[in-house]
Amino acid sequence: MRTYPLTLAAALAATALLTGCSDDKSGGDDVKNADRPSESACALGDMGVEVGAGAAPAAGDTGTVTVTLANKGAQCSLKGFPGVDLLADDKTTSVSPDEGAKPQSLTLGKGGTTSFTITYVRGEAGSAESLDVRKASFTLPGDTRTAHELTWSYGAVDWSEDRKPSVSGFETSGD
């Protein structure tokens, strides 16, 4: 039984010695940021989700679906693009980021909001170049195992080469 308290004391002393100070100037930022909550990926389960649409009224018109996320959890970060899939009866298709868009990093504090937008061209129902979308699904970077599904009530989506839908990066909301 005597070895247990000595082993525990040695472990605590070693931990204090290793974390107490560092003269390493080259990796200082990495060391300081290693355990910061702002560096952990946002989890979809910690987000409130609201959807607003500027639906395309007729075939050939452009529409948008904006998804707003409100962080209900601890400070977290989003790095990259949301993963968006459009689901039809017999097909699931991934939506690419807007042409020329570059992934950005965004830190959300508790109560912070962000949004992203899916832009699409309404297609002709039943056309070979249209996808009869029933649902949309999205994931967050760093939390790709958890998806949020939205009912798609905005009509068929044109899937011709020059009119495929796209998704924006995360945009800051508010001040």
Q: What is the pLDDT of residues 46-77, one digit of tens each?
A: 999 999 999 999 999 999 999 999 999 999 99
- Integer Cα distance of 52 and 64 in angstroms: 8
pLDDT of residue 53: 94
**pLDDT surpassing 90 at residue 15:** no
**Nearest alpha carbon to residue 142 among 98, 75, 88, 80:** 80
Q: Are 68 and 108 in contact (CB under 8 A)?
A: no
DSSP 38: G
Number of alpha helices (DSSP H) and beta strands (DSSP E) in the chain: 2, 13
Burial class (CB in 10 A: 0-12, 13-18, 19+), 71: buried
- C-alpha 140: how far from chain center: 2
The tokens for 86 are: 């459009």
Share of the chain above pLDDT 90, in %: 65
Instruction: Encode pLDDT of 97-129 as tens digits.
Output: 999 898 889 999 999 999 999 999 999 998 999
Determine the length of the chain.
175
Element (H, E) at 167: strand 166-167
pLDDT, greater one: 89 or 75: 75
pLDDT of residue 157: 96
Considering the chain, what is the average pLDDT of its residues?
81
